[in-house]
Structure 1
């Protein structure tokens, strides 16, 4: 009987996979590559290697979880396609876990006295913009995922009443703007992980919060815009 949960995290340049036991919640193994644009060529390899290294096969999977976004448009598409393909081929359920709540869970679970903070994951969205949200240490959503333009007044109201811990790829851009705000704290080196995705997906599995394999799309948060190069515009005018 299949008893394993495979989790995929491809929302950032890090390509990460993890394997948990559904019953006990034990982490059996994890693997990741920190290479730019490695997802399309290495994700399947990482999955197969992880299963081989833990002595398991695809047939042992009871469900697949994927990072839902926001994040890299291309990375999210690759992760979603891989997860949907596995779920369809194996006839098993699909789970999707938000990138921001999984980051918050990752940090809160490793913070001493976690109830002292609100948790603000920030993902770099280029220039002075980030994707951000706010959560309590138990994962309760205080501010839904949203694009934020960073300035000295960003989240000023929340910082008036709460100590807020900032982290993720976009937090470094906010740190100099938050200088002088005693309730703002920062933690460096926090990156999306398939382990955190899997930990949240375990609970979602038991609640049967499954996604439709045929119609699932990642949560991009913002529309994706494409541009036309000048050379293409010139050719089009001829």
Structure 2
């Protein structure tokens, strides 16, 4: 177990948390945003002061790496990389859709054994960023931009229940009307839900190269542009 500072800025919510030995010792959230440019620096300063005042050694920074808001991800990742450079610590990147799934998996409502999870991030109009996971967060369908209509996910819904959640799911509720479709309300990606995912990567020594790491949206952009434009 380690001390990890967690940063989540992929949507309108800005949140920072610190876990030590898997237990939350600091948490701040701003749900009035998007106020990332204002709130994130203040929250990080408060988190670092808390860590230093309690003589806790900070081992790593975990950041939600997308998909999500271009501006939010840019601010969050820039802050995370700056902290890693300044304190010479490790960088952990966590997919936003997996972060979204944590509170659903940990909720008091027991999911069926064959249940699938479909976290969704709003991408405007009827488009969402979404992926499909099983209960162990094994990827069943990769993260991609998807236009939702009445036939979306029908092949899977005919076989098993799917739980939809995230800020992209609410606008899809009147489109996906299958009896196996379940919509979970009020699920947001928050720093305090990053703990189990970050601890797992820490234990596996799965770290990012601080110099070259970019969030989800930039990876897609770079992969599709001619080299002469970069």
Structure 1 partner of 2:209 = 212
1:3-27 CA distances to partner (integer Å, 9 max, x unpaired)? 4100000000100111111xx3111
Largest Rg, 1 or 2: 1
Q: Distance in 2 between matches of 1:13 and 1:133?
A: 20
Task: Assess if the C-alpha contact under 8 Å between 1:67 and 1:98 holds in 2.
Answer: yes
Indicate the RMSD between aligned Cα atoms, in angstroms: 2.0
Equivalent positions of 1:1-238 (< 5 A) are: 3-21=2-20, 24-52=21-49, 56=53, 60-114=57-111, 115-179=113-177, 181-220=178-217, 223=221
Task: Assess if the C-alpha contact under 8 Å between 1:105 and 1:137 holds in 2.
Answer: no
TM-score (norm 2): 0.89
Task: Assess if the C-alpha contact under 8 Å between 2:51 and 2:58 holds in 1.
Answer: no
Unaligned runs of 5+ in 1: 225-238
Of 135-144 and 111-120, deviating more is 111-120
CA shift, 1:144, in A, is 1.0
Distance 1:128 1:52, change over 3 A: same
Of 168-177 and 46-55, deviating more is 46-55
TM-score (norm 1): 0.86
CA shift, 1:111, in A, is 4.7
Unaligned runs of 5+ in 2: 223-230
Number of matched pairs: 220
Q: Distance in 1 between matches of 2:142 and 2:26?
A: 31
Task: Assess if the C-alpha contact under 8 Å between 2:7 and 2:191 holds in 1.
Answer: yes
Of 139-148 and 49-58, deviating more is 49-58
SS of residue paired to 1:143: strand
